[in-house]
Structure 1
């Protein structure tokens, strides 16, 4: 899936147009560093809560898959999640109490598999569009225009942001559990 020999190159990828290749290159690097950050964590460490309001590392990993799934629906299908999809992904999207209640007791492979399954669909979907698709503008947050390029940038920007939390939680979890 991710060519680790080319992980530091933002460049063309076989089967994708130039701009989409670059976007996917960045997404792949972010995912690779996320997985490196959580290597060898136990279930207890993945479920660790620094305080009653904190999200667990497992919940944040599930959040990455959920956000990516949501943006597949938004950008490729022009829709929100269905009720059934929201039941599946809602706790990971919403995090907080809902995430703490529903997302726990899974090993690292569960979360990595979840992220990989969603990413595999993303990669297939990106094969169906050209670079011009990235420029399509639609109303977004607060009814301001955003293009698909920004929306997909936000998918991995959100992962980078939460990965900082994961690193902090991971240090505490390793010391406490």
Structure 2
């Protein structure tokens, strides 16, 4: 964490993957700082029937990262078993509101750390050229793995704003 504000080489990873990981690590750090010390009740707080809970968003981060592991390293979609584990957290919505609740913060952090650990292992097996591998992506548009992995932490940053908004709501007594 001493080098949190440096986008630089990371031992064991190629240069561009190091930079990507530097950004992913910073995004994750800011998420963890945002949620530290939240209670189970705060993690389960739902502002309205259209929203997400903080707990659901944390599990969503792990699910998205896992899905991109599968897509970019195994060149496939999640199978039925994986969807039974991660599908609700990927989709969120009403199903997520009902299914993802009642967990302590450690539960979500453990899931996120397990998935990130696998990401690090996988990134050690490829080099910078791998990042430029292209395939069809959203709406049959070309994308490369660099963009796809950018989206993993871009999604976290986007939802970090949602987490901050939820926290403001329950910190102002509107729970």
The alpha-carbon deviation at position 169 of structure 1 amounts to 0.3
- CA distance in 2 between partners of 1:33 and 1:141 (Å): 27
List runs of 5+ in structure 2 lacking aligned partners. none
List aligned pairs for 1:110-121, cutoff 5 A: 110-121=107-118
What corresponds to 1:28 in structure 2?
25
Q: How many residue pairs are counted as aligned between the two chains?
A: 174
Q: Structure 2 matches for 1:1-177, cutoff 5 A?
A: 4-174=1-171, 175-177=173-175
* Structure 1: stretches of 5+ with no match in the other structure: none
Give per-residue Cα distances to partners, 1:44-99, cap 9 Å, x unaligned: 00000001111000000000000000000000000100101001101100000110
For 1:7 and 1:92, the matched residues in 2 are separated by: 28
Compute the RMSD of aligned alpha carbons.
0.7
d(CA) in 2 for partners of 1:113, 1:173 = 24
Structure 1 length as normaliser, TM-score?
Answer: 0.97
Task: Give the deviation of 1:101 after TM superposition.
Answer: 1.2
Q: Deviations over 1:125-173 (max 9, x none)?
A: 0000000000001000111000000000000000000010000001112
SS of the equivalent of 2:52 reads: coil
Aligned to 1:146, what secondary structure does the other structure show?
strand
Q: Distance in 2 between matches of 1:94 and 1:170?
A: 22
